[in-house]
């Protein structure tokens, strides 16, 4: 068969409200999530042996990769697969690239095996907290432990400049820091500071921001510096360290990203995306 090729988009958390950890150790959340026009590409085909080739990043390609974990969760009885993953989204940045890749793997293998969308949707929450969102994309509320997705009308009339500082943050470490700090709330952004299409959802905040700064104080310096440069609030996506600010369109956002001096892992202006994982061609 011909390769199945899927776009796997990045996301940002426009808001992220975190609850106290359950006995399982997981934290319930309520997050307004937005897909971005910034994609990895995953090609999948049947093969004589399992293999994952990755370009664009130095990542593990064995069973520890989330794409393989997703496939094993979906179906143990399957043909051998060759996957080619072209990474454009920085890893360990709070942009959900690994979860998007897992969602793409689920959709591709379900197509190969003739499995329904309902089977894919039931499998996604067992793979990772963000995976279910990427099956839907667009703008959506994500609640519980990531399994409850409620799409809302697509947000239009704005874009974001996204900057990824030159360090990584461990999501479990940030959550442990949040627990040690007794569950602080992040600073809120509301009113006319928000784009008109987002004002009904305000105030928007990320409760993990204080904990992420406690883990990596340099993150606070990046937030302050970008805020001075851009003249507007700078927000954290997920557990970080990806940062973003709101702009009227992609051109303005791209100009703002281009102003960022010094080393960084990525900086770009990005449009909002109305779909999640999507088959190309």
Q: What is the DSSP string of 137-187?
A: -SEEEEEETTTEEEEEPPP-S-EEEEEE-SS---HHHHHHHHHHTT-PPPP
Known catalytic membership, residue 221: no
* Best CA proximity match to 237, nearest among 9, 7, 10: 10
CA distance 173 to 152: 31
In tens, the pLDDT along 215-225 reads 999 999 999 99
Provide the pLDDT for residue 267: 95
- If 0-12 CB within 10 Å is exposed, 13-18 middle and 19+ buried, where does residue 269 land? buried
Q: Which residues pair with 141 in a beta bridge?
A: 32, 150
What is the chain's length?
281
Among 69, 130, 207, 280, the one annotated catalytic: 130
Distance, CA of 238 to CA of 208 (rounded, Å): 7
What would the mean pLDDT of 67-92 be, rounded to a whole number?
95
Q: CATH classification of 4-153+274-279, choosing from 3.30.2270.10, 3.40.50.1000, 3.30.230.10, 3.40.50.970?
A: 3.30.230.10
pLDDT in tens, 97-117: 999 999 999 999 999 999 999
> Span 203-207, mean pLDDT?
97
The domain limits of the chain are 4-153+274-279, 159-270
The arithmetic mean of pLDDT across residues 78-85, rounded, is 96
Active-site hit among 11, 69, 87, 207: 11
- Say yes or no to pLDDT of 78 above 90: yes
pTM of the model: 0.95
The residue ranking higher by pLDDT, 92 or 235, is 235
Residue 269 has pLDDT above 90, yes or no: yes
Q: What is the mean pLDDT of the chain?
A: 95
**CA 81 – CA 106 distance, rounded (Å):** 12
Is 11 assigned a catalytic role? Answer: yes
So what's the pLDDT on residue 114? 96
What do you get for the CA distance between the two ends of the chain, in Å?
A: 15
Say which CATH class 159-270 falls into.
Answer: alpha beta
């Amino acid at each position: 068969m011909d390769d199945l090729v899927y776009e796997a988009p990045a996301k940002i958390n426009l808001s992220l409200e975190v609850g106290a950890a359950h006995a399982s150790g997981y934290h319930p959340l309520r997050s307004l999530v937005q897909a971005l026009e910034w994609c990895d590409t995953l090609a999948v085909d049947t093969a004589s042996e399992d293999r994952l080739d990755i370009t664009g990043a130095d990542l593990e390609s064995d069973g520890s990769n989330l794409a393989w974990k997703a496939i094993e969760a979906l179906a143990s009885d399957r043909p051998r697969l060759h996957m080619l993953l072209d990474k454009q989204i920085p890893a360990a940045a709070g942009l959900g690239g690994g979860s998007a890749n897992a969602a793409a793997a689920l959709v591709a293998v379900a197509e190969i095996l003739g499995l329904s969308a309902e089977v894919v949707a039931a499998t996604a929450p067992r793979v990772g907290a963000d995976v279910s969102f990427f099956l839907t994309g667009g703008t959506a509320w994500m609640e519980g432990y990531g399994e409850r997705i409620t799409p809302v009308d697509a947000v239009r009339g704005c874009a974001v400049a996204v900057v990824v500082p030159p360090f990584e943050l461990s999501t479990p470490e940030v959550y442990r820091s949040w627990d040690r700090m007794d569950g602080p709330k992040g600073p809120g952004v509301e009113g006319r500071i928000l784009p008109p299409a987002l004002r009904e959802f305000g105030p928007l905040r990320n409760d993990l921001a204080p904990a992420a700064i406690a883990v990596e104080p340099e993150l606070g310096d990046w937030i302050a510096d970008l805020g001075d440069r851009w003249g507007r609030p700078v927000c954290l996506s997920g557990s970080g360290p990806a940062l973003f600010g709101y702009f009227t369109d992609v051109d303005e956002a791209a100009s703002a990203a281009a102003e960022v001096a010094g080393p960084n892992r990525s900086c770009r202006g990005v449009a909002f995306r109305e779909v999640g994982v999507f088959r190309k061609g």
